[in-house]
Amino acid sequence: MMTIREIKRLYRIVEVQLRYGLDDFIPQDPRSELPQKIRKSLFWIKNEYPDKPLGERLRLALQELGPVWIKFGQMMSTRRDLFPPHIADQLALLQDQVAPFDGQLAKRTIEASLGCPIEQWFDDFDEVALASASIAQVHTATMKENGREIVFKVIRPDIKPIIEADIKLMYRMAEIVSRLQPQARRLRPVEVVREYEKTLLDELDLMREAANGIQLRRNFEGDDSLYVPEVFTDYSSVNLLVMERIYGIQVSDIEALKANGTDLKLLSENAVNIFFTQVFRDSFFHADMHPGNIFVSYEHPHDPQWIALDCGIVGTLNREDKRYLAENLLAFFNRDYRKVAELHVDSGWVPADTNIDAFEVAIRTVCEPIFEKPLCEISFGHVLLNLFNTARRFNMEVQPQLVLLQKTLLYVEGLGRQLYPQLDLWATAKPFLEDWMSRQVGPQAIIEAVKSKAPFWAEKLPELPELLYDSLRQGKVMNQRLDTLYDNFMDSRRNQGKARFYFGIGATMMVCAAILFGDHVTTYPAIAAGAGAVFWLLGWRACRK
């Protein structure tokens, strides 16, 4: 049962949506007058902002509902191929233009985390927020010791209870859906909510974000395609992140990028390569790549450099998932639908008893019409949606470990198409995947395996003589034991032969004694019976040896 607090929050969500007139998103059914009658009833909450565009009303509603809903709006804002401009443009404002909280409160929060006044370590603190997002906001300052420009990222006060309440409500709704809609169970809504909860709560721990940023910076050390700002961990804590201030052009500001002479085609292709490098080379990828977190350096516009901020959400994949994902994408690029179907079964994404032939036909039916378009016009978002809808007919379960990857890939495609609408995602990704796969199988894979194991073998090399001596000694002992077992076995075989011989004579003597007794002979039968008993005892003794 839902608690009173959860019911109130659910009512609040519905109330806000109706107050901003979001019921306009519900399709009108001309065959039924019931929806119109419900809208005109007394209990229906009327739209209080009929003069505002629908996109603006959606943005304001999500902003009022809090961080869980703002994050959802941020994700939708990157899908300009799925949402019209008047919706996407408004949702883009959620990325870094959320209403800030008081600057004095932010300063007190920072000082509480530092354990001292800001002025002890920093100058020029600006109480006006540089940027404000759903979970944290940013203020600028300079370091006293060297004059370096830095930013403070500080968590919004009292944000955690709000997130926990919404997540708890989402759990309730997921459980209700699972019970009332048996077909939805294979989508694993509870597991999906759990994964979403983990990513949101991870964002509340800025030390985790600091560690993620340090690793991502290290992964691209010496690679000019991506820059990650330096983190100053001596001043950072769970509620406060202190990092290098960067200057760049926000990736959504297309006009500014063009004015700077940025090669937009190369920039969009680099986005795809950076994403696949993080996924397949590093198994560690930035999973919150909405435009509010991505900038482009002013320098070298003809060889543009991406700048990644906000590493609070990162994703990882294990070796098996990476292998199946790469093979699935390559099979799809090559239109090998049989391979796609088999890989779904082999990976466990669909049940093992799935009819491969029927699954292949269903995938081909969905994909072939898509390939009739030029590759640059194909939306990977639509492809994923169509494939998942097809796989669900074959009882595919949602894979929580792939949810972040799917979301991030949609972000990357959205960014790439926004920068360069003619981006051919397939042509950019396919060579990368083919090269990665060639390094997983064949001679190159063997060389890489030898390289990775070489330090371990070098460490064990001095121990080899002793290990060889121990192996030979153990082999000698094992041979001796085998010889002993063999001798015992042969002795047992010989003893068993003696026993059978004695039992046979004993049985013969007993039979003769019985026959003689039947003929009323008295002396010889007793001697035969006694001899038979002796041979039986000898046979029993032979068995005991």
Do 401 and 257 fall into the same domain? no
pLDDT, tens digit, for every residue of 119-155?
Answer: 999 999 999 999 887 788 999 999 998 999 999 999 9
Rounded to an integer, what distance in angstroms lies between the CA atom of residue 138 and that of residue 100? 9
* DSSP secondary structure letter of residue 116: S
Confidence band of 180 (pLDDT split at 50, 70, 90): low
pLDDT surpassing 90 at residue 521: no
Domain hosting residue 27, numbered range: 4-92
Rounded to an integer, what distance in angstroms lies between the CA atom of residue 409 and that of residue 417? 12
Vertex 210: Cα angle to 204 and 213 (nearest 5): 120
Cβ burial of 266 (10 Å; 0-12, 13-18, 19+) is: middle
In a domain, 469, yes or no: no
Q: Are 354 and 395 in contact (CB under 8 A)?
A: yes
Pick from 64, 92, 120: which residue ends a domain? 92
Do 491 and 398 fall into the same domain? no
Residue 393 or residue 212, greater confidence: 212
Do 349 and 259 fall into the same domain? no
Do 242 and 110 fall into the same domain? yes
What is residue 207's predicted lDDT score, i.e. its pLDDT?
93
pLDDT surpassing 50 at residue 116: yes
- Return the closest-CA partner of residue 409 out of 383, 389, 435: 383
Bridge pairing between strands 226-227 and 306-308: parallel
Rounded to an integer, what distance in angstroms lies between the CA atom of residue 163 and that of residue 203? 11
Q: Are 197 and 167 in contact (CB under 8 A)?
A: yes
pLDDT, tens digit, for every residue of 50-79?
Answer: 888 888 898 888 888 887 788 777 766 655
Bridge pairing between strands 240-244 and 149-155: antiparallel
Average pLDDT over residues 284-291: 83
Pick from 92, 127, 158: which residue ends a domain? 92
Enclosing H/E stretch for 394: none
The domain that holds 167 is classified in CATH as: 1.10.510
The reported pTM is: 0.67
Cβ contacts of residue 212 below 8 Å, gap of 6+? 311, 312, 314
Residue 102 or residue 530, greater confidence: 102
What is residue 513's predicted lDDT score, i.e. its pLDDT?
65
Mean model confidence pLDDT for the chain: 78
Residue type, 43: F
Side-chain half-sphere exposure of 374, counting CA atoms within 13 A = 6
Strand, helix or coil for residue 335: coil
Residue 371 or residue 536, greater confidence: 371
Confidence band of 384 (pLDDT split at 50, 70, 90): low
Confidence band of 380 (pLDDT split at 50, 70, 90): low
Residue 344 or residue 446, greater confidence: 344
Residue 526 or residue 99, greater confidence: 99
Do 325 and 307 fall into the same domain? no
CA torsion angle for 373, 377, 379, 382 (degrees, to 10)? -40
pLDDT surpassing 50 at residue 34: no
Cβ contacts of residue 485 below 8 Å, gap of 6+? none
Distance (Å) of CA 203 to CA 74, 136, 239, 295: 15, 9, 10, 20
Cβ contacts of residue 374 below 8 Å, gap of 6+? none
Pick from 390, 412, 442: which residue ends a domain? 442
In a domain, 392, yes or no: yes
Q: Which two tokens stand for residue 73?
A: 């709006």
Q: Which two tokens stand for residue 121?
A: 């370590």
Q: What are phi and psi of 317, to 5 degrees?
A: -130, 145
Active site residues: 288
pLDDT, tens digit, for every residue of 228-286?
Answer: 999 999 999 999 999 999 999 998 889 999 999 999 999 998 988 898 899 888 889 99
Do 243 and 130 fall into the same domain? yes
Do 249 and 393 fall into the same domain? no
pLDDT surpassing 90 at residue 90: no
Enclosing H/E stretch for 240: strand 240-244
What is residue 16's predicted lDDT score, i.e. its pLDDT?
87
How many domains in the chain? Answer: 4
What is residue 174's predicted lDDT score, i.e. its pLDDT?
75
Distance (Å) of CA 433 to CA 281, 338, 485: 11, 19, 57
